């Protein structure tokens, strides 16, 4: 069932669980995500980046997601724009029947970010679409999102974290529905040179200045060792890849107000690792189904593990009931 993020976050904030927001780029990745969510009876957010729109064509991605909704009608699904950078793009995604959008003005100065986010909220809320914005700076690189140099970020992380008082002012002036915060996470597979330590004290402070505001973690892939080892074993070159420990992500969603956790890199790693394995162990194989299929299976298993980490497994019925309670509100484009 298709919905906005509101019924999901209404329950997640107080219910000690988080919603996995998984980036989709093609059929196999999307199938792997939704099959895992269906098996675990978990809600999910399927998010589409600017790069995905360019690579796959929005019409194709939209039809794949429509198939997910039809095939698994009991799985609560939100379609979300990841890292939108203009009000025009927000409007385009609303017209394309997204149910949620992110406007990312974190690379602008504070007042510009406020104004860009406020205008995006004005446009999206008029259409019944929920809005996520970002405040603070992350490290790393992923697709079109270029953050701070990883080494520089680690060395000076405190100065880039989201300021709790700014977060309060930002939320009040923009009217956003959720806020992506910088708490020590980073984009990409090469996030850190040493094990990450999330700034839980900063999350707690933001919760105090912004009570009830759903928080979002970007750059939250854990970069599973088994996939890195497979990639390197079969010709890859990723010796220093390191992500966010899953126990820290679990704490963020179970103890603090983190309601949405973005996962993209881990999907890519799972798919790539299995494709490399097939190519290396079966060099005569040329049937795409024989290497994309194992990649999809790896995504299913990996996403299932993530859903238990996020404590969202088994929460689909509760989210569906909350959506019913709210009167099944949907964006105007569906009416």
Cβ-contact 225, 245 below 8 angstroms: no
Alpha-carbon span 81 to 58, nearest angstrom: 11
Pick the closest to residue 217 from 171, 158, 263, 174 (CA basis).
Answer: 263
User: 10, 74, 82, 264: which is the annotated catalytic residue?
Assistant: 82
Alpha-carbon separation of residue 263 from 7, 119, 302, 314 (angstroms): 20, 27, 11, 19
Give me the sign of the Cα torsion angle 223, 229, 233, 239.
positive
19 within 8 A of 5, measured Cβ to Cβ: yes
- Contact (Cβ atoms closer than 8 angstroms) between residue 43 and residue 77: yes
Q: Alpha carbon of 52 to those of 2, 130, 267, 319: distances in Å? A: 20, 21, 14, 27
Token couple for 93: 């995604």
Is 82 one of the catalytic residues?
A: yes
Residues 259/216, Cβ–Cβ less than 8 Å: yes
The Cα–Cα gap between 263 and 253 comes to 14
Tokens read off for 50: 């600017």
Q: Which residues are catalytic, by number? A: 82
């Amino acid at each position: 069932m298709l919905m906005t993020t509101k019924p999901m976050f209404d329950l997640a904030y107080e219910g000690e669980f988080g919603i996995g927001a998984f980036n989709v780029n093609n059929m196999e990745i999307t199938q792997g995500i939704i099959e895992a969510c269906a098996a675990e009876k978990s809600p999910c957010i399927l998010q589409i980046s600017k790069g995905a729109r360019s690579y796959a064509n929005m019409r194709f991605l939209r039809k794949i997601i429509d198939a997910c909704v039809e095939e698994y009608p009991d799985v609560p699904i939100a379609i979300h724009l990841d890292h939108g950078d203009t009000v025009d793009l927000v409007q385009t995604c609303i017209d394309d029947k997204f149910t949620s959008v992110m406007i990312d003005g974190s690379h602008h100065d504070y007042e510009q970010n406020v104004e860009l986010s406020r205008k995006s909220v004005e446009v999206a809320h008029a259409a019944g679409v929920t809005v996520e914005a970002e405040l603070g700076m992350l490290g790393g690189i992923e697709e079109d999102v270029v953050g701070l140099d990883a080494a520089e970020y680690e060395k000076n992380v405190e100065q880039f974290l989201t300021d709790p008082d700014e977060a309060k002012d930002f939320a009040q002036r923009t009217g956003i529905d959720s806020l992506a915060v910088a708490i020590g996470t980073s984009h990409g597979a090469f996030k850190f040179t040493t094990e990450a330590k999330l700034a839980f004290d900063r999350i707690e402070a933001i919760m105090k200045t912004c009570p009830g505001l759903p928080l979002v973690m970007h750059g939250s892939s854990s970069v599973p060792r088994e996939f890195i080892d497979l990639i390197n074993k079969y010709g890859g070159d990723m010796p220093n890849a390191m992500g966010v420990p899953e126990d820290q992500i679990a704490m963020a969603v179970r103890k603090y107000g983190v309601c949405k956790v973005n996962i993209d890199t881990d999907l890519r790693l799972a798919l790539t690792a299995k494709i490399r394995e097939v190519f290396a162990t079966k060099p005569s194989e040329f049937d795409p189904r024989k290497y994309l299929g194992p990649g999809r299976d790896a995504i299913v298993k990996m996403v299932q593990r993530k859903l238990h980490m996020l404590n969202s497994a088994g929460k689909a019925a509760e989210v569906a009931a909350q959506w019913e309670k709210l009167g099944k509100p949907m964006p105007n484009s569906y009416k």
